[in-house]
Amino acid sequence: MDKSRVFSFKKESKKNVKDFKKCFASTVKLQSHWGAKLPISWTKLESVLRKLKEKSHKVFSVLNLSRFVLKTNELGINNEEDLLDALMFFNDTGVILYRIEIKDIIILDVQWFVDAFKRIIFDEEHIKDMDVSSDTEEFKTLRKHGLLSSNALNVVWQNSEFGKHKKDLVSYMKHLDMLAELSEEKWYVPCMNKQKFECKFLDNCNVSSRLCFLFEFLPFVIYHRLVVACINNMWMKPWESTGRMSIFHTVTILTCKDDYHRVLIAICDNKEPTHNDFPYSIEIQSNVTKPREIDIGVTLKLKEDIFRNLTNLTRGLPSCETSSQLGYRCRIQPFGGNQESHIIKEEEMLASNYDCAKCSQPHIVDVDSICRFWKVILFVNLKRRSTYMHSLSLKQ
Ligand SMILES: [Zn+2]
């Protein structure tokens, strides 16, 4: 919450109304398209799109739209490039959904698309209204683990137009990081996952320290979308251990591209007074099966990739854009371990030792051993440096 934009009102009082209006207007004007000059032809195109929607076209082929637009002279759009620019603009302003990666289809009815997703993330109350039988094993898997099979999807979308556009809808949901594609017939919908993580999963693993991205405010959905983005864009897949996927409500373990490094991504709600200025954190910790050792080249690359995805996801959410704030947990132990640990901001860890006064028993943190996984430290001994410089060059 941006506290400067919170206003309280009293019935039959004008108190705060003026300030609210001022704030409202200045917030609207902050939008990137405000004040931009647009071709008149785009307004005409918008009305064409609206008419198509009114004729109950939920999705529309870009090719057909392009044919129609280019032959209708009075619209004033003479080439495909102009049309695509206009479609991108209408996507950014919420009129339609259009992704450059999905070239052939636009979604004209955004609310209809939202309704399709609402059916996937049903709760007990929703399911009664949907009039479908939800007792099957596939439904239980979706409800408990967030794993959506093609059959379950057919059932939630039955008796509606959604089924007819299954491929396009799934494609858009994937590109918007709403679900992750595990195979052609299976998707992961993180917000449906209710499983609890237990530390025992990491019993036989060597782990890195925990890197924390710190936030004053963080909508939970950003965490879900980050997990989905890692699966969809970074060649990662859920770690399968004892015949099940290691995906839980607030913790996810993904296998990296090399097949033996794994990364645990978690969202933490830090209620302790020591974490007052950053109550939310997204934390990552790498792990490998013993006796393997963690390759620092891999963790450095993980940090870079995850940071990039997280920055993309929080762009445009001013209250979350503090993700440049980094920190580390003061102890190295498998995630969920018994020992208490606190977050120390990176900027506080300047010397080689740090006195942690946040834990109930004060202790000394060896800064190098914590930071070495996540940043290139100068003055490290030459042998170690050459090892990870070598691994870095391999990665590149
Ligand atoms: Zn500590």
pLDDT of residue 137: 87
Q: Cα(64)–Cα(184) distance, rounded to whole angstroms?
A: 27
Q: How far is the CA of 120 from the centre of ligand 1 (A)?
A: 42
Q: Provide the pLDDT for residue 396.
A: 44
Structurally, at CATH architecture level, domain 112-192 sits in Orthogonal Bundle (1.10)
**What is the average pLDDT score of the chain?**
88
| Distance (Å) from CA 209 to ligand 1 centroid | 13
Ligand 1: centre distance to CA 275 (Å): 12
Distance 332 CA to ligand 1 centre (A): 10
Q: How far is the CA of 356 from the centre of ligand 1 (A)?
A: 5
- Measured in Å, residue 216 CA sits from the centre of ligand 1 at 21
Between CA 333 and CA 370, with CA 301 as vertex, the angle to 5 degrees is 30
Tokens encoding 97: 């959904």
Q: How far is the CA of 352 from the centre of ligand 1 (A)?
A: 15
Distance in Å, CA 280 to ligand 1 centroid: 18
What SS3 string covers the chain? CCHHHCCCCCCCCCCCHHHHHHHHHHHHHCCCCCCCCCCHHHHHHHHHHHHHHHCCCCEEEHHHHHHHHHHCHHHCCCCHHHHHHHHHHHHHCCCCECCCCCCCEEECCHHHHHHHHHHHCCCHHHHHHHCCCCCCHHHHHHHHHCEEEHHHHHHHCCCCCCHHHHHHHHHHHHHCCCCEEEECCEEECHHHCCCCCCHHHHCCEEECCCEEEEECCCCHHHHHHHHHHHHHHCCCEECEECCEECECCCEEEEECCCCCCEEEEEEEECCCHHHCCCCEEEEEEEEEECCCCCCHHHHHHHHHHHHHHHHHHHCCCHHHCCCCCEEEECCCCCCCCCCCCCEEEHHHCCCCEEEECCCCCCEEEEHHHHHCCCCCCCCCCHHHHHHHHHHHHHHC
Residues with CB under 5 A from ligand 1 (ion): 330, 342, 356, 359
Burial of 259 (0-12, 13-18, 19+ CB in 10 A): exposed
CB 121 within 8 A of CB 111: no
pLDDT of residue 123: 75
Which residues share a beta bridge with 224? none
Buried/exposed 89-100: b ≥16 CB within 10 Å, e otherwise = bbbeeebbbbbe
Q: Quote the ligand 1 centre to 354 CA distance (angstroms).
A: 9
- Centroid of ligand 1 to alpha carbon of 283 (angstroms): 16
Cα 322 to middle of ligand 1, angstroms? 23
Q: Using alpha carbons, list the distances in angstroms from residue 184 to 84, 99, 149, 276.
A: 29, 20, 9, 44
Give dist(CA 231, CA 195) in Å, integer.
Answer: 19
Question: Measured in angstroms, how far is the CA atom of residue 335 from the centroid of ligand 1?
Answer: 15
CA of 363 to the centre of ligand 1 (A): 6
Residue 364 Cα to ligand 1 middle (Å): 8
Q: How far is the CA of 297 from the centre of ligand 1 (A)?
A: 26
* Residue 291: cis peptide before it, omega within 30 degrees of 0: yes
Whether this prediction's pTM lies above 0.85 is answered by no
Task: Give per-residue pLDDT as tens, 13-64.
Answer: 999 999 999 999 998 888 878 888 889 999 999 999 999 999 989 999 999 9
**Domain spanning 199-380: CATH 1.10.10:** no
The β-bridge partners of 288 are 206
Find the 214 Cα to ligand 1 centroid distance in Å.
Answer: 17
Centre of ligand 1 to C-alpha 343, Å, is: 8
Ligand 1 center–CA 288 separation, angstroms: 24
pLDDT at 242: 83
Tens-level pLDDT at each residue, the chain (396 residues): 677 888 999 999 999 999 999 999 998 888 878 888 889 999 999 999 999 999 989 999 999 999 999 999 888 998 999 999 999 999 988 899 998 888 889 999 999 999 999 999 887 777 666 666 667 888 889 988 999 999 999 988 988 899 999 999 999 999 888 999 999 999 999 989 999 998 888 999 999 999 999 988 888 889 999 999 999 888 899 999 888 889 999 999 999 999 999 999 999 999 888 888 888 999 999 999 999 999 999 999 999 999 999 988 888 676 666 546 899 999 999 999 889 999 999 999 888 999 999 999 999 999 999 999 998 865 544 444 455 455 555 544
| Sequence ranges of the domains in the chain | 1-30, 40-99, 112-192, 199-380
Compute the distance from residue 185 Cα to the ligand 1 centre, in Å: 45
The CA 370 to ligand 1 mean position distance, Å, reads 12
Which pLDDT score is estimated for 32? Answer: 78
